[in-house]
A and B are shown apart, each in its own frame.
Chain A
């Protein structure tokens, strides 16, 4: 079978991942699906559903995807729908936008969002602004997806988080899935959306399995863009996050629960348009706010949340200033001890929560 020949080609860490996955397939009861497979499923279903959908990017076809996210798709759909591009981000992003303008529904993969900087003009000026500039005549139904933010040991040029940069721009939608359910529901919504959507995935989450609820197994399972999810109910403090740090927040909440502090953990799911209502309602209940993100502190997602909290009804319910937990304000270093301390760790989140609660 294809998986066997695949084993020969893949590096060692991939092999162990593959073996783990096969074990889970044979397990009974709850269905466990990795984030990678969830995205794969989502794209597969949308490719099948609408023949205008196609995927292009570096290594997406014959290599099965640099991170194997598009595994099996080229074999199933062929050259017309799954297109390997040369290393020409600005060129192929522009080609994808043009194809969207002409009525197709491209998924444009950036191998990582760091490389999207080469193409950022096409994302912002050609995609995001066009519907507005044309007075509603020219929609651009495109998805830009790929891994975003810190990985492990890949250093500064390969570790930047682009949530704040893309979240800054009117005309774009920006989503940031955390778990498998998020990944599948959001990629499907993004593909069906008639607007340019940036999907910020996370490389370290790709191999992580999560329980897949029954509704997520449906071919029409969609997660609405612009709606956050309360992952854990709580009463003492609101902790808002997106992407991989959501898991760290839940870990912190579990530790604090033993000390009698109940955190309400909100998974943003969407960066733009941001679901302020859910955040505000939660802060009005708990009176305390901590934001957690992997990106740099200045002009970041947490900064935006804090500013908006001040402008809205929730400000008067705060018993303490809102606090941000972010990546360190440095280009990502390589050495493990430095890298570990350049991203928010569980202990940093716990510390910030306790400081906010004055305990």
Chain B
């Protein structure tokens, strides 16, 4: 099965190779940038909100398009690999929510911090890991280099060395990937505390879903963040369903942007990447000015079910999913904007689609071909900075060496 997959992808990638000179030929007169109107955000305890117009440069537009398309295709590939049983366990996909991860990243600096829950593949990518590293981790494979200490060496594997899987991927200034619903929110407030403690003008984006929004520890985090004026942007990624429970059935108040009470909030169109970007810039500026935390609710949608074991149609209709796809798809919205204002051509964007597909295929091939972690490493990384010691296996005679 794996060999067939590899062979098929080789054929497909061969068919789409293009000579480098084609890029020069295609450069007709595009606009350098264009101004777009974006939806006004609903505000809570704020006099003013983000601007209602924004300028998008051609360069940024192409970058965002490529990033969103990469996340989209990576998630669809993960779906495929899961159905082939090459990915195991939990797999929570974020296709449909690309404007959130790409838009948030566009509004902050790489030196800022981000933490989220388990629907994390998109953020893992936007925070700097390659598709190859992500898919290798999902397919349990090995990496012998620390991702952000050494440069990516070329043919090595998953960022957490196959120890974490889908829910536990980490990168520089990206703290996962967290499996316990809501636990990441106090963690994020703690990272924000460190930002303030170090005095470096950095902020922490702390994400959670509409389901997690009802966790008590989130309100504890709100209280302390506001009390201590931590530079924490609380972000509720509201995709309308917490697993199989719609927001109306879970929350007495579905105005998630107001749930921070004494914390100012804004409700953002999470399907429009420019809206997300402007709101993030606004929120980050607010935090950096020392005013304390702020809350953003991103209204978004996931096409897949909660996880790969959920078809996603028992608690919502196919018509609803189809309607979002046809009217609010984030990639389509950006594409239409760019084409209609002459920032890019349809062909150019199609080219990007093809390149992205190839990149994903290559990554999947690599991920499926790369070896599993060696059994000897089962006991590694129990403790940091310690001399090696022995870890007990399934019985007293089985011992594994533990190296830090």
Contact = CB atoms under 8 A, between A and B. Distances in A.
A98 B180 contact: no
Contact of A125 (B175, B183, B220, B389): B183
A80 B404 CA distance: 32
A195 to B, nearest CB: 5
Interface in B140-161: 143, 146-148, 158-161
Contacts of A97: 186-187, 190
A335 to B, nearest CB: 35
Contacts of A171: 382-383
Contacts of A80: 197
Contacts, number: 154
Interface string B177-213: 0111001011111111111011000001000000000
B217 interface: yes
A95 B218 CA distance: 11
Contacts of B161: 135-136
A338 to B, nearest CB: 35
Contact of A137 (B160, B185, B216): B160
A90 B198 CA distance: 24
B223 A94 contact: no
Interface residues of B, number: 54
Query: Which residue of A83, A121, A136, A193 has the most chain B CB atoms within 10 A of its CB atom?
Result: A136
A: contact size bracket: 35 or more
Contacts of B163: 132-135
Interface in A91-142: 91-104, 121-122, 125-126, 130-139, 141
A100 B178 CA distance: 16
A95 B193 contact: yes
B146 A136 contact: yes
B160 A91 contact: no
A136 B404 CA distance: 7
Contact of A98 (B146, B147, B186, B404): B186
A134 B115 CA distance: 14
Contacts of B382: 131-132, 170-171
Contacts of B386: 195
A96 B220 contact: no
A92 B186 contact: yes
Interface string A171-205: 10100000000000000000001110000000000
Interface in A130-170: 130-139, 141, 170
A86 interface: yes
A124 to B, nearest CB: 10
B179 A136 contact: no
B197 A90 contact: no
A273 interface: yes
A54 B223 CA distance: 20
Contacts of B289: none
Contacts of A83: 228
A85 interface: yes
Nearest to A170: B382
Interface in B289-306: none
A94 B146 contact: no
A135 to B, nearest CB: 3
B252 to A, nearest CB: 21
B175 A85 contact: no
B170 A94 contact: no
Contact of A195 (B115, B162, B198, B383): B383
A139 B193 contact: no
A88 interface: yes
A311 interface: yes
29 contacts: A85-B224, A88-B224, A91-B186, A91-B189, A94-B187, A95-B186, A97-B187, A97-B190, A98-B186, A98-B189, A101-B175, A101-B187, A102-B204, A103-B194, A104-B193, A104-B194, A122-B183, A130-B176, A131-B382, A131-B384, A132-B163, A133-B163, A134-B168, A135-B164, A136-B161, A136-B381, A137-B159, A170-B382, A195-B383
Interface of B: 113, 115, 143, 146-148, 158-164, 168, 170, 175-176, 178-180, 183, 185-195, 197-198, 204, 216-217, 220-221, 223-224, 227-228, 380-386, 389, 391, 396, 404
Interface of A: 54, 80, 83, 85-86, 88, 90-104, 121-122, 125-126, 130-139, 141, 170-171, 173, 193-195, 273, 311
Given A90-B186, A97-B186, 5 more contacts: A86-B223, A91-B189, A104-B194, A132-B163, A135-B164
